[in-house]
Amino acid sequence: MGKKRIIKQTEEELIKEGEKIGPKVKKEEAAPVRKITEGRVYVSSTYNNTIITLTDPEGNMLAGTSAGTVGFKGTKKATPFAASKVAEALCQIARKFGIGKVAVFVKGIGSGRESAIRSLVAGGLEVISIKDITPIPHNGCRAPKVRRV
């Protein structure tokens, strides 16, 4: 294959290249960071997984974690222990945003519902309210047609 040559550039050449690239790249002005003190936490607990989402008071998503992202696999994702670990991870994210008070909305019939709420409280978040938003059928689905023999 032969010898490979490494071309070394002097400092002057590097500065000239930087000047060529510099004006073309626009510096993006960062949006003003607003301090959020309150938020909403949506806990979706199913038989297979626990997903927790953090939003601002208007409902815009800030962060979300699940038992899979924390590191659990298979049936272990649906355990109360996994749900508590997910809630702890979300508490750390909420601290970075500066959120102290949250309203909790719980959805689903999994085993991680209560342990997630307990871990949110233990993680330092002040829970303002807890609301169950599990969808409940009012009249059920349509009955099957009558069997004729």
pLDDT at 85: 97
Nearest to 119 by CA among 92, 97, 146: 92
pLDDT digits (tens, 9 = 90+) for 120-136: 999 999 999 999 999 99
pLDDT at 82: 97
Distance (Å, whole) CA 71 – CA 85: 10
Nearest to 40 by CA among 81, 97, 78: 97
Q: How many CB atoms within 10 Å of residue 129?
A: 10
pLDDT at 8: 73
pLDDT digits (tens, 9 = 90+) for 66-118: 999 999 999 999 999 999 999 999 999 999 999 999 999 999 999 999 999 99
pLDDT digits (tens, 9 = 90+) for 5-59: 777 767 777 677 666 554 544 444 444 556 889 999 999 999 999 999 999 999 9
Tell me the three state secondary structure of residue 3: coil
Domains of the chain: 38-132 (3.30.420.80)
pLDDT at 29: 47
pLDDT at 25: 44
pLDDT at 103: 97
Q: How many CB atoms within 10 Å of residue 67?
A: 25
pLDDT at 53: 97
